[in-house]
């Protein structure tokens, strides 16, 4: 699996269709507005394909406006990072899709259509589907594009997704994404629907470099802060597939001033950004000082790219962020799509 910052052919996203997931039509429309905002922003830098239920295609086109393709592939929820196609590439440049066998985050949510999106996109583009047998989600694993994977055990070594030993699960995951070295941190089980996806906490910027978001201090009794510092300590001791120690960059966890959510799983993560051609699309949370500091770090880490910060609070309320809502197709050899 190539590093996200490599050049893309396009970005895939999913149009959420089920009101029941969000609790009300008003909440669903707010999420859809955020999805449209993300899509239109990315479309300024690279092509965007929105996957949507065939009977909603016309309405989605109207919501998105011009410049964004809509493919009639049935969707339920918006999380294309998890249920969408995970692209891998051979040494000769041939693309394929790695099937991660999305099962609704351990059968916590229905996924009759979302569980088939990866295979349907692969068929549409004319790509081989590679299935190592691992079960999980794209947001649950980070790759440096050079053989090193990073993940929380809580969302892979978990009976709600994979049976067998940690070693067997690791082998299947490495096989799926073409990795040689796995860096595991424990993570947190059962506190959110994802069992703590790594892409809300730590991301590979490039081989040998990781960006991690940390709270101001570790608070006993707060599993998120305990896990964040635990992952940080593991990364400080870790070696990557090339035997290098990691350069770790820390961004402060935001203290959202705009959001007063009663939900404990609101995702306020600066590291859940998306790297597209020429830009980094990130979230802002209403604290100008912290938002500007985070944007400054991203500019330093991704020189030559524009950093665009968006208010996507409805998606944070739904439990995710911009990275969760997107999936990149890297440049490579593929057949023309069949729409």
Please tell me which residue in 80, 155, 276, 324 is annotated as part of the active site. 324
Nearest to 32 by CA among 8, 10, 53: 53
* 28-59 burial: b if 16+ Cβ within 10 Å, else e: bebbbebbbbbbebbbebbbbbbbbbeebbee
Question: Does the active-site annotation cover 276?
Answer: no
Q: What is the DSSP letter of 157?
A: S
Backbone angles phi, psi at 328, to 5 degrees: -90, 145
C-alpha span between 176 and 172 (Å, rounded): 6
- Of the CA atoms within 13 Å of residue 99, those in its CB half-sphere come to 17
Distances in whole angstroms, Cα of residue 67 to Cα of each of 36, 89, 279: 12, 27, 18
**CA-based R_g, the chain, Å:** 18
* 136 vs 142: CA distance, rounded Å: 13
DSSP 8-state code for residue 336: P
The CA distance from 35 to 27, in Å, is 13
Residues known to be catalytic = 324
């Amino acid at each position: 699996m190539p590093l996200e910052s490599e050049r893309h052919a396009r970005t895939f996203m999913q149009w959420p269709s089920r009101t029941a997931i969000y609790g009300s039509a008003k909440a669903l429309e707010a999420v859809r507005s955020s999805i449209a905002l993300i899509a239109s922003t990315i479309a300024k830098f690279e092509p965007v394909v929105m996957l949507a239920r065939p009977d909603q295609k016309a309405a989605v086109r109207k919501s998105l406006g011009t410049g964004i393709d809509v493919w009639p592939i049935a969707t339920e929820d918006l999380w294309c990072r998890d249920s969408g196609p995970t692209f891998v590439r051979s040494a000769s440049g041939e693309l394929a899709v790695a099937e991660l066998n999305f099962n609704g985050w351990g059968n916590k949510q229905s996924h009759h259509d979302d569980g088939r999106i990866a295979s349907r996109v692969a068929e549409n583009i004319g790509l081989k589907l590679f299935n190592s047998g691992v079960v999980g989600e794209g947001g649950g694993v980070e790759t440096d594009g050079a053989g090193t994977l990073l993940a929380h055990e809580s969302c892979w070594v978990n009976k709600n997704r994979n049976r067998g030993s940690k070693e067997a699960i690791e082998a299947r995951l490495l096989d799926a994404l073409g990795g040689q070295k796995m860096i595991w941190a424990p993570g947190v089980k059962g506190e959110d629907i994802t069992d703590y996806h790594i892409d809300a906490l730590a991301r590979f910027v490039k081989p040998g470099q990781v960006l991690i978001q940390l709270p101001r201090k570790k608070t006993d009794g707060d599993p998120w802060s305990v896990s964040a510092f635990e992952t940080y300590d593991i990364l400080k001791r870790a070696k990557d597939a090339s035997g290098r120690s990691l350069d770790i960059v820390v961004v402060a966890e935001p203290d959202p001033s705009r959001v007063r959510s009663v939900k404990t799983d609101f995702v306020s993560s600066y590291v859940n950004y998306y790297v597209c051609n020429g830009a980094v699309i990130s979230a802002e949370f209403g604290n100008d000082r912290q938002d500007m500091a985070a944007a400054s770090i991203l500019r330093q880490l991704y020189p030559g790219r524009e950093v665009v910060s968006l208010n996507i609070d409805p998606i944070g309320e739904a439990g995710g962020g911009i990275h969760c809502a997107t999936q990149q197709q890297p440049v490579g050899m593929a057949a023309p799509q069949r729409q």
